[in-house]
A = this chain, B = another copy of it.
């Protein structure tokens, strides 16, 4: 091992369009000598990496990619390991810690770790279709490559019953098409067929494609690896093609901001005046 203390940046680049990538993420990539990432994400930042060494790998080679990044940084390099969205949301950050742990790394050892947050797909996809995430929501990955389907199905059931807005990551791939059908069936047992559903593909990229439909019809649309599926709660509505989940102001206030009878600003909502949930 070299004496020099390297730096490992774990960077989320957001949805991929440069004007939605933070200055902190751009600075990290700019500072790195080596940039490591999945081929698709590397392409999104190709204008930033002229003259740098690049390790591009396919989607199923995450462990090797994380190890390569950690080891090069440990040996004194400045390395940026990049994920789309946020590296800590279904991204590479978890694997980095698992690799560091296996190497017996301690705080203060090389490499220095700098995690640079980015905007995850839920954030960017939500904004494309309106304001679906203004109240409680969850994120569930439908990929059962690393997680038993029974665990995933239990999570869908629980959040459908408790009226969360549900964001589904990795809903389907070429080979994996059964899960989104089962997810729809589970949610449908708890919510009406007219519940708003948004499908957003490649948010803020050139090939952005979004649709607002409903729980009984969304399976008729094309759904793939790059699609995020947002299922509304019982309170979610569609307005002029936008999908909106209200925060609940109508439970306590008139549209002019006057307090409804029986309610007090700054105090707990008194249930019964108008029902929510």
What residues of chain A have their CB less than 8 Å away from a CB belonging to chain B? 12, 14-15, 17-24, 27, 60-64, 67, 86-91, 93-102, 105-107, 115-120, 123-124, 126-128, 130-141, 144-152, 154-155, 157-159, 161-164, 175-176, 204, 239-242, 244-253, 255-257, 265-269, 271, 276-277
Decide: A138 near B141, CB < 8 A? Known: A116-B127, A269-B146: no
Nearest to A61 among chain B residues (CB) is B257
A152 to B135, CA, bound (A): 11
Let me know if A88 and B131 touch, CB within 8 A.
Answer: yes
Q: Which of B130, B131, B158, B247 contacts A158 (CB 8 A)?
A: B158
Given A23-B23, A123-B117, A123-B118, are A139 and B141 also a contact pair (CB < 8 Å)?
no
Which residues from chain B contact A253 at a C-beta distance below 8 Å?
63
Q: Is the CB of A23 within 8 A of B19?
A: yes
List chain B residues, Cβ under 8 A from A277.
147-148, 150-151, 154
Given contacts A19-B23, A100-B240, 12 further A-B contacts (CB under 8 A): A14-B22, A21-B22, A86-B133, A89-B134, A94-B247, A115-B130, A147-B248, A148-B269, A148-B271, A148-B277, A149-B269, A158-B158
| B117 pairs with A147, CB closer than 8 A | no
Q: Are B60 and A145 in contact (CB under 8 A)?
A: no
Partner pick for A127 among B18, B115, B252, CB 8 A cutoff: B115
**Once the chains bind, are B19 and A242 in contact (CB under 8 Å)?**
no
Contacting pair A93 B257 (CB below 8 A): no
**Copies held by the complex:** 2
Q: Which residues of B contact A139 (CB under 8 A)?
A: 136-138
If A94-B244, A146-B252 touch, whether A239 touches B100 (CB-CB below 8 Å) is yes
Chain B residues whose C-beta falls within 8 Å of the C-beta of A138 in the assembled complex: 136-139, 159, 164
Chain B residues contacting A131 (CB-CB under 8 Å) are: 87-88, 93-94, 96-97, 115
Which of A91, A175, A242 has most B Cβ within 10 Å? A242
Closest to A24 in B: B19
- A148-B277, A154-B162 known; A105+B267 contact, CB < 8 A: no
Given A94-B131, A107-B240, check contact A257 B137 (CB 8 Å).
no
Complex contacts, A64 vs chain B, CB 8 Å? 257
CB contact under 8 A between A247 and B19, given known A115-B131, A146-B269: no
The answer to whether B27 and A246 touch across the interface, beta carbons within 8 angstroms, is no
* CB-nearest residue of chain B to A27: B19
Q: Taking A22-B20, A22-B21, A126-B89 as contacts, is the C-beta distance between A163 and B151 under 8 angstroms?
A: yes
Q: How far, in whole Å, are A248 and B63 apart by their CA atoms in the complex?
A: 11
The complex places the Cα of A267 from the Cα of B174 at a distance, in Å, of 11
Given A86-B123, A123-B123, A138-B138, also A149-B60 (CB < 8 A):
no
